[in-house]
Amino acid sequence: MEIRQLRHEDFEASTELSQYAFQYTLSPAELEEQKKKFKPEQVWGVFDSEELNAKLTLLPLQVYLHGKQFAMGGIAGVATWPEKRRGGLVSRLLKHALEQMKLSGQTVSFLHPFSFPFYRKFGWEIFIEHKKYTVPVDKFPSKTAIEGTIKRNIRDTEQLNKVYQQYAQKFNGTLVRDMEWWENRVLNKDTQTAVFYAENGAPEGYVFYKVQNKELSCDEFVYLTEQARRALWTYFANHDSMVEKGTFSFIPANDSLPYLLADPRIKQEIIPYFMGRIVDVPAFVEQFPFQSSAQGAEITLALTDTHAPWNEGIWRLSVSSQGEGKLEPVRGNTEAQLQCDIAALSAMLIGYKRPQELFRWGRLTGSAEAAYMLELVVPSAQTFLMDFF
Protein backbone atom coordinates (compact mmCIF):
# COMPACT_ATOMS: atom_id res chain seq x y z
CA MET A 1 0.00 0.00 0.00
CA GLU A 2 1.27 3.47 -0.94
CA ILE A 3 -0.09 6.92 -0.01
CA ARG A 4 0.64 9.55 -2.63
CA GLN A 5 -0.82 12.60 -4.33
CA LEU A 6 -2.90 11.88 -7.38
CA ARG A 7 -1.67 12.61 -10.88
CA HIS A 8 -3.60 13.91 -13.88
CA GLU A 9 -3.89 10.37 -15.24
CA ASP A 10 -5.72 9.36 -12.03
CA PHE A 11 -8.73 11.57 -12.86
CA GLU A 12 -10.95 8.76 -14.15
CA ALA A 13 -10.23 6.47 -11.17
CA SER A 14 -10.81 9.34 -8.73
CA THR A 15 -14.08 10.41 -10.38
CA GLU A 16 -15.36 6.85 -10.57
CA LEU A 17 -14.78 6.40 -6.83
CA SER A 18 -16.46 9.73 -6.02
CA GLN A 19 -19.55 8.95 -8.11
CA TYR A 20 -19.91 5.56 -6.47
CA ALA A 21 -19.30 6.72 -2.89
CA PHE A 22 -21.45 9.86 -3.06
CA GLN A 23 -24.12 8.39 -5.36
CA TYR A 24 -24.24 10.77 -8.30
CA THR A 25 -23.59 10.52 -12.03
CA LEU A 26 -21.87 13.11 -14.21
CA SER A 27 -22.81 13.63 -17.84
CA PRO A 28 -20.03 13.57 -20.46
CA ALA A 29 -20.09 17.38 -20.56
CA GLU A 30 -19.86 17.59 -16.76
CA LEU A 31 -17.01 15.08 -16.74
CA GLU A 32 -15.11 17.22 -19.23
CA GLU A 33 -15.69 20.32 -17.10
CA GLN A 34 -14.55 18.51 -13.95
CA LYS A 35 -11.42 17.33 -15.72
CA LYS A 36 -10.47 20.93 -16.51
CA LYS A 37 -10.85 21.88 -12.84
CA PHE A 38 -9.14 18.76 -11.45
CA LYS A 39 -6.28 19.61 -9.08
CA PRO A 40 -4.53 16.28 -8.45
CA GLU A 41 -2.02 17.87 -6.05
CA GLN A 42 -4.92 18.48 -3.60
CA VAL A 43 -6.00 14.82 -3.54
CA TRP A 44 -4.22 12.07 -1.60
CA GLY A 45 -4.93 8.43 -2.32
CA VAL A 46 -4.12 4.99 -0.96
CA PHE A 47 -2.92 2.82 -3.84
CA ASP A 48 -2.39 -0.92 -4.10
CA SER A 49 0.02 -1.00 -7.02
CA GLU A 50 -1.80 1.46 -9.33
CA GLU A 51 -5.30 0.72 -8.03
CA LEU A 52 -6.92 3.57 -6.09
CA ASN A 53 -8.53 2.15 -2.92
CA ALA A 54 -9.35 5.29 -0.91
CA LYS A 55 -8.80 9.03 -1.16
CA LEU A 56 -9.36 12.42 0.44
CA THR A 57 -9.04 16.01 -0.72
CA LEU A 58 -6.93 18.44 1.29
CA LEU A 59 -7.87 22.04 0.46
CA PRO A 60 -5.47 24.90 1.30
CA LEU A 61 -7.79 27.52 2.80
CA GLN A 62 -7.76 30.47 5.18
CA VAL A 63 -10.23 31.16 8.00
CA TYR A 64 -10.95 34.03 10.36
CA LEU A 65 -10.42 33.56 14.10
CA HIS A 66 -10.93 36.68 16.19
CA GLY A 67 -10.36 38.79 13.07
CA LYS A 68 -7.02 37.14 12.23
CA GLN A 69 -6.41 34.85 9.27
CA PHE A 70 -5.27 31.30 10.03
CA ALA A 71 -4.08 28.75 7.45
CA MET A 72 -6.59 25.89 7.44
CA GLY A 73 -6.55 22.46 5.85
CA GLY A 74 -10.04 21.60 4.61
CA ILE A 75 -10.73 17.85 4.49
CA ALA A 76 -13.27 16.85 1.84
CA GLY A 77 -14.25 14.01 -0.47
CA VAL A 78 -13.18 11.17 1.83
CA ALA A 79 -14.12 7.98 -0.02
CA THR A 80 -13.30 4.24 0.01
CA TRP A 81 -14.52 1.38 -2.15
CA PRO A 82 -16.90 -0.79 -0.05
CA GLU A 83 -14.77 -3.91 -0.34
CA LYS A 84 -11.78 -1.94 1.03
CA ARG A 85 -13.58 -0.46 4.05
CA ARG A 86 -12.76 -1.22 7.69
CA GLY A 87 -9.16 -1.89 6.80
CA GLY A 88 -7.79 1.29 8.35
CA LEU A 89 -7.27 3.10 5.02
CA VAL A 90 -9.10 6.29 6.04
CA SER A 91 -7.27 6.29 9.37
CA ARG A 92 -3.96 6.21 7.50
CA LEU A 93 -5.10 8.98 5.15
CA LEU A 94 -6.23 11.24 8.00
CA LYS A 95 -2.97 10.77 9.90
CA HIS A 96 -1.05 11.48 6.70
CA ALA A 97 -3.17 14.59 6.08
CA LEU A 98 -2.39 15.87 9.59
CA GLU A 99 1.33 15.43 8.93
CA GLN A 100 1.04 17.26 5.60
CA MET A 101 -0.94 20.10 7.19
CA LYS A 102 1.71 20.53 9.88
CA LEU A 103 4.44 20.67 7.24
CA SER A 104 2.43 23.24 5.27
CA GLY A 105 1.84 25.50 8.28
CA GLN A 106 -1.90 24.81 8.39
CA THR A 107 -2.47 25.03 12.14
CA VAL A 108 -6.18 24.17 12.05
CA SER A 109 -8.39 21.80 10.03
CA PHE A 110 -12.14 21.73 9.29
CA LEU A 111 -14.36 19.06 7.73
CA HIS A 112 -18.03 18.24 7.17
CA PRO A 113 -18.57 14.80 8.73
CA PHE A 114 -20.65 11.92 7.44
CA SER A 115 -20.50 10.80 11.10
CA PHE A 116 -19.60 12.95 14.10
CA PRO A 117 -18.55 9.93 16.26
CA PHE A 118 -16.22 8.66 13.52
CA TYR A 119 -14.20 11.87 13.21
CA ARG A 120 -14.20 12.51 16.96
CA LYS A 121 -11.97 9.43 17.21
CA PHE A 122 -9.37 11.36 15.20
CA GLY A 123 -9.52 14.56 17.24
CA TRP A 124 -11.99 16.62 15.23
CA GLU A 125 -14.80 18.17 17.27
CA ILE A 126 -18.00 19.99 16.41
CA PHE A 127 -17.31 23.70 16.37
CA ILE A 128 -20.25 25.16 14.51
CA GLU A 129 -23.99 24.88 14.38
CA HIS A 130 -26.32 27.20 12.53
CA LYS A 131 -29.96 28.12 12.70
CA LYS A 132 -32.58 27.53 10.05
CA TYR A 133 -35.83 29.50 10.12
CA THR A 134 -39.10 28.69 8.37
CA VAL A 135 -41.23 31.86 8.39
CA PRO A 136 -44.78 32.25 6.95
CA VAL A 137 -44.85 35.35 4.77
CA ASP A 138 -47.36 37.06 7.06
CA LYS A 139 -44.81 36.83 9.89
CA PHE A 140 -41.95 38.44 7.96
CA PRO A 141 -40.57 41.56 9.68
CA SER A 142 -42.62 44.66 8.98
CA LYS A 143 -41.82 46.67 5.88
CA THR A 144 -39.98 49.88 6.71
CA ALA A 145 -38.99 52.97 4.75
CA ILE A 146 -35.21 53.02 4.40
CA GLU A 147 -32.98 55.65 2.84
CA GLY A 148 -30.91 53.76 0.31
CA THR A 149 -31.49 51.43 -2.63
CA ILE A 150 -31.77 47.73 -3.40
CA LYS A 151 -30.29 46.43 -6.65
CA ARG A 152 -30.96 42.93 -7.99
CA ASN A 153 -28.69 40.55 -9.86
CA ILE A 154 -25.43 42.08 -8.69
CA ARG A 155 -22.67 39.56 -9.43
CA ASP A 156 -19.64 41.75 -8.92
CA THR A 157 -17.56 39.37 -6.80
CA GLU A 158 -15.12 42.04 -5.63
CA GLN A 159 -17.98 44.20 -4.38
CA LEU A 160 -19.74 41.28 -2.70
CA ASN A 161 -16.51 40.07 -1.15
CA LYS A 162 -15.82 43.48 0.36
CA VAL A 163 -19.11 43.28 2.27
CA TYR A 164 -18.60 39.60 3.09
CA GLN A 165 -15.12 40.16 4.55
CA GLN A 166 -16.31 42.83 6.97
CA TYR A 167 -19.17 40.57 8.07
CA ALA A 168 -17.13 37.35 8.24
CA GLN A 169 -14.42 38.83 10.47
CA LYS A 170 -16.96 39.19 13.29
CA PHE A 171 -17.12 35.39 13.60
CA ASN A 172 -14.74 32.50 14.26
CA GLY A 173 -14.45 29.90 11.50
CA THR A 174 -15.67 31.82 8.48
CA LEU A 175 -13.71 31.31 5.25
CA VAL A 176 -11.48 33.90 3.65
CA ARG A 177 -12.94 33.69 0.15
CA ASP A 178 -10.81 34.34 -2.93
CA MET A 179 -12.25 35.13 -6.35
CA GLU A 180 -12.00 31.52 -7.55
CA TRP A 181 -14.02 30.38 -4.52
CA TRP A 182 -16.66 33.02 -5.22
CA GLU A 183 -17.01 32.04 -8.86
CA ASN A 184 -16.90 28.25 -8.45
CA ARG A 185 -18.45 27.68 -5.03
CA VAL A 186 -20.65 30.64 -4.07
CA LEU A 187 -22.34 32.29 -7.04
CA ASN A 188 -24.28 29.43 -8.60
CA LYS A 189 -25.98 30.18 -11.90
CA ASP A 190 -29.49 29.80 -10.48
CA THR A 191 -28.88 32.01 -7.43
CA GLN A 192 -30.65 35.38 -7.27
CA THR A 193 -28.80 38.24 -5.62
CA ALA A 194 -29.86 41.54 -4.11
CA VAL A 195 -27.56 44.19 -2.64
CA PHE A 196 -28.46 47.11 -0.38
CA TYR A 197 -26.63 50.41 -0.98
CA ALA A 198 -26.64 53.23 1.55
CA GLU A 199 -27.30 56.82 0.46
CA ASN A 200 -23.58 57.39 -0.07
CA GLY A 201 -23.49 54.48 -2.52
CA ALA A 202 -21.63 52.07 -0.25
CA PRO A 203 -22.87 48.46 -0.26
CA GLU A 204 -23.91 47.47 3.27
CA GLY A 205 -25.55 44.08 2.80
CA TYR A 206 -26.64 41.40 0.36
CA VAL A 207 -28.79 38.28 0.09
CA PHE A 208 -28.55 35.13 -2.05
CA TYR A 209 -31.91 33.48 -2.60
CA LYS A 210 -34.28 31.55 -4.89
CA VAL A 211 -38.03 31.75 -5.41
CA GLN A 212 -39.70 28.48 -6.41
CA ASN A 213 -43.11 26.93 -5.86
CA LYS A 214 -44.30 29.86 -3.73
CA GLU A 215 -41.32 29.52 -1.40
CA LEU A 216 -38.45 31.94 -0.95
CA SER A 217 -35.25 30.19 0.19
CA CYS A 218 -32.28 32.25 1.32
CA ASP A 219 -28.94 30.71 2.23
CA GLU A 220 -26.81 33.83 2.66
CA PHE A 221 -28.13 36.92 4.47
CA VAL A 222 -25.24 39.31 5.14
CA TYR A 223 -25.55 42.82 6.59
CA LEU A 224 -23.18 45.34 8.11
CA THR A 225 -25.73 47.80 9.51
CA GLU A 226 -29.20 47.72 11.02
CA GLN A 227 -30.57 49.73 8.11
CA ALA A 228 -29.20 47.10 5.71
CA ARG A 229 -30.91 44.33 7.70
CA ARG A 230 -34.25 46.17 7.65
CA ALA A 231 -33.95 47.07 3.97
CA LEU A 232 -33.23 43.48 2.92
CA TRP A 233 -36.13 42.14 5.01
CA THR A 234 -38.41 44.77 3.43
CA TYR A 235 -37.23 43.58 0.03
CA PHE A 236 -38.16 40.01 0.93
CA ALA A 237 -41.51 41.15 2.37
CA ASN A 238 -42.30 42.73 -0.99
CA HIS A 239 -42.50 39.20 -2.39
CA ASP A 240 -45.71 38.66 -0.38
CA SER A 241 -47.84 38.23 -3.51
CA MET A 242 -45.44 35.58 -4.85
CA VAL A 243 -44.61 33.37 -1.86
CA GLU A 244 -46.29 31.74 1.10
CA LYS A 245 -43.22 31.22 3.28
CA GLY A 246 -39.51 31.70 3.48
CA THR A 247 -36.75 29.36 4.60
CA PHE A 248 -33.55 30.96 5.83
CA SER A 249 -30.52 28.70 6.24
CA PHE A 250 -27.00 29.36 7.52
CA ILE A 251 -28.07 31.82 10.20
CA PRO A 252 -25.63 32.40 13.12
CA ALA A 253 -26.58 30.44 16.23
CA ASN A 254 -26.83 33.66 18.25
CA ASP A 255 -29.18 35.39 15.79
CA SER A 256 -32.06 37.32 17.39
CA LEU A 257 -34.70 37.37 14.65
CA PRO A 258 -37.49 35.78 16.77
CA TYR A 259 -37.10 38.54 19.36
CA LEU A 260 -37.46 41.17 16.64
CA LEU A 261 -40.62 39.65 15.13
CA ALA A 262 -44.11 40.75 16.14
CA ASP A 263 -44.96 37.05 16.46
CA PRO A 264 -41.88 34.95 17.35
CA ARG A 265 -43.69 31.62 16.92
CA ILE A 266 -41.78 30.48 13.88
CA LYS A 267 -40.05 27.19 13.20
CA GLN A 268 -36.43 27.25 14.35
CA GLU A 269 -33.94 24.44 13.81
CA ILE A 270 -30.40 24.09 15.14
CA ILE A 271 -28.24 22.26 12.59
CA PRO A 272 -24.91 20.71 13.75
CA TYR A 273 -22.58 21.51 10.86
CA PHE A 274 -18.77 21.39 10.65
CA MET A 275 -16.05 19.89 12.83
CA GLY A 276 -12.63 21.38 13.52
CA ARG A 277 -9.37 20.49 15.21
CA ILE A 278 -6.08 22.18 15.93
CA VAL A 279 -3.30 20.54 13.89
CA ASP A 280 -0.18 22.08 15.44
CA VAL A 281 -0.90 23.36 18.96
CA PRO A 282 2.35 25.29 19.66
CA ALA A 283 2.19 27.10 16.29
CA PHE A 284 -1.53 27.81 16.74
CA VAL A 285 -1.02 29.24 20.23
CA GLU A 286 1.73 31.58 19.03
CA GLN A 287 -0.63 33.06 16.44
CA PHE A 288 -3.74 33.05 18.65
CA PRO A 289 -4.83 36.47 20.05
CA PHE A 290 -5.46 35.80 23.73
CA GLN A 291 -7.28 38.30 25.91
CA SER A 292 -4.90 40.95 27.23
CA SER A 293 -4.85 41.41 30.99
CA ALA A 294 -2.75 43.24 33.53
CA GLN A 295 -1.26 40.10 35.07
CA GLY A 296 -1.15 37.67 32.13
CA ALA A 297 -1.31 33.96 32.92
CA GLU A 298 0.80 30.81 33.21
CA ILE A 299 -0.81 27.35 33.23
CA THR A 300 0.53 23.82 32.83
CA LEU A 301 -1.61 21.59 30.61
CA ALA A 302 -1.42 17.85 29.92
CA LEU A 303 -2.67 17.30 26.38
CA THR A 304 -3.50 14.00 24.65
CA ASP A 305 -3.62 13.68 20.85
CA THR A 306 -3.24 10.11 19.61
CA HIS A 307 -3.21 10.92 15.88
CA ALA A 308 -0.94 13.98 16.04
CA PRO A 309 1.68 12.88 18.60
CA TRP A 310 3.66 16.12 18.25
CA ASN A 311 0.85 17.73 20.33
CA GLU A 312 1.02 15.16 23.15
CA GLY A 313 2.64 15.91 26.48
CA ILE A 314 2.72 18.40 29.31
CA TRP A 315 2.94 22.02 28.17
CA ARG A 316 3.43 25.36 29.87
CA LEU A 317 1.01 27.91 28.42
CA SER A 318 2.23 31.46 29.00
CA VAL A 319 0.06 34.44 28.06
CA SER A 320 1.60 37.89 28.33
CA SER A 321 -0.28 40.97 29.53
CA GLN A 322 -0.57 41.94 25.82
CA GLY A 323 -2.30 38.66 24.99
CA GLU A 324 0.65 36.97 23.28
CA GLY A 325 0.68 33.21 23.83
CA LYS A 326 3.52 30.72 23.98
CA LEU A 327 3.50 26.97 24.53
CA GLU A 328 6.63 25.22 25.75
CA PRO A 329 7.15 21.55 26.68
CA VAL A 330 7.59 20.84 30.38
CA ARG A 331 10.44 18.46 31.23
CA GLY A 332 10.62 16.17 34.24
CA ASN A 333 7.83 14.87 36.48
CA THR A 334 5.79 18.08 36.72
CA GLU A 335 2.13 17.51 37.54
CA ALA A 336 -0.09 19.50 35.16
CA GLN A 337 -2.71 21.86 36.55
CA LEU A 338 -5.18 20.96 33.79
CA GLN A 339 -5.76 17.95 31.52
CA CYS A 340 -7.76 17.61 28.28
CA ASP A 341 -7.66 16.03 24.84
CA ILE A 342 -7.18 17.80 21.50
CA ALA A 343 -10.93 17.80 20.78
CA ALA A 344 -11.73 19.75 23.96
CA LEU A 345 -8.83 22.16 23.41
CA SER A 346 -9.98 22.74 19.82
CA ALA A 347 -13.59 23.43 20.86
CA MET A 348 -12.26 25.88 23.45
CA LEU A 349 -9.80 27.86 21.34
CA ILE A 350 -11.82 27.89 18.11
CA GLY A 351 -14.57 29.39 20.23
CA TYR A 352 -17.37 26.85 20.35
CA LYS A 353 -17.26 26.19 24.12
CA ARG A 354 -15.88 28.12 27.07
CA PRO A 355 -13.17 26.73 29.43
CA GLN A 356 -15.50 26.80 32.44
CA GLU A 357 -18.19 24.89 30.54
CA LEU A 358 -15.70 22.18 29.60
CA PHE A 359 -14.45 22.04 33.18
CA ARG A 360 -18.01 21.66 34.50
CA TRP A 361 -18.65 18.76 32.11
CA GLY A 362 -15.38 16.96 32.90
CA ARG A 363 -13.89 17.56 29.44
CA LEU A 364 -11.26 19.77 31.06
CA THR A 365 -10.06 18.44 34.42
CA GLY A 366 -7.72 19.50 37.20
CA SER A 367 -7.51 22.76 39.12
CA ALA A 368 -10.66 24.92 39.25
CA GLU A 369 -8.43 27.97 39.79
CA ALA A 370 -6.43 27.19 36.62
CA ALA A 371 -9.64 26.65 34.62
CA TYR A 372 -10.88 30.06 35.79
CA MET A 373 -7.55 31.61 34.77
CA LEU A 374 -7.99 30.07 31.32
CA GLU A 375 -11.51 31.49 31.15
CA LEU A 376 -10.08 34.97 31.63
CA VAL A 377 -7.49 34.79 28.84
CA VAL A 378 -9.43 32.90 26.12
CA PRO A 379 -11.47 35.48 24.17
CA SER A 380 -15.12 34.86 23.36
CA ALA A 381 -16.60 34.88 19.83
CA GLN A 382 -19.50 33.32 17.94
CA THR A 383 -18.51 30.48 15.58
CA PHE A 384 -20.06 30.51 12.12
CA LEU A 385 -19.57 29.13 8.60
CA MET A 386 -21.73 29.63 5.52
CA ASP A 387 -19.62 27.63 3.06
CA PHE A 388 -19.44 23.93 2.28
CA PHE A 389 -16.63 21.74 1.00
Range 199-210 average pLDDT: 97
Residue type (1 letter), 88: G
Range 33-56 average pLDDT: 96
End-to-end CA gap in the chain:
27
Could you report the per-residue pLDDT of 92-108, keeping only the tens digit for each?
999 999 999 999 999 99
Does residue 32 register a pLDDT over 80?
Answer: yes
Taking the C-alpha atoms of residue 275 and residue 119, their distance in angstroms, rounded to an integer, is 8
Q: In what order do the strands lie in the sheet with 149-152?
A: 149-152, 192-197, 203-212, 215-223, 245-252, 129-136, 267-272
Range 29-54 average pLDDT: 96
2-106 placed in CATH 3.40.50.2020:
no
Q: 51-65 and 43-48: which strand pairing?
A: antiparallel
> Same fold for the domain at 2-106 and the one at 280-377?
no
Residue type (1 letter), 198: A
Where are the domains positioned within the chain?
2-106, 131-272, 280-377
CATH of range 131-272; options 1.10.760.10, 2.40.37.10, 3.90.1150.10, 3.40.630.30: 3.40.630.30
Could you report the per-residue pLDDT of 266-307, keeping only the tens digit for each?
999 999 999 999 999 999 999 999 999 878 899 999 999 999
Range 11-20 average pLDDT: 97
Q: Confidence band (pLDDT; 50, 70, 90) for 113?
A: very high
Is the four-CA dihedral 350, 251, 143, 165 of positive or negative sign? Answer: positive
Residue type (1 letter), 179: M
Give the pLDDT of residue 62.
Answer: 98
Residue type (1 letter), 261: L
Could you report the per-residue pLDDT of 130-141, keeping only the tens digit for each?
999 999 999 999
Range 11-16 average pLDDT: 97
Could you report the per-residue pLDDT of 74-89, keeping only the tens digit for each?
999 999 999 999 999 9
Q: Confidence band (pLDDT; 50, 70, 90) for 333?
A: confident
Specify whether the CB–CB gap between 125 and 116 falls below 8 A: no
CA 39 to chain centre: 22
Give the pLDDT of residue 296.
Answer: 86
**pTM of this prediction?**
0.94
Q: Which parts of the chain fold into alpha helices (H)?
A: 11-22, 28-37, 89-104, 116-120, 157-168, 179-181, 226-237, 257-260, 281-287, 342-350, 355-360, 368-377
Average pLDDT of the chain, as a whole number: 96
CATH number, span 280-377: 3.30.1050.10
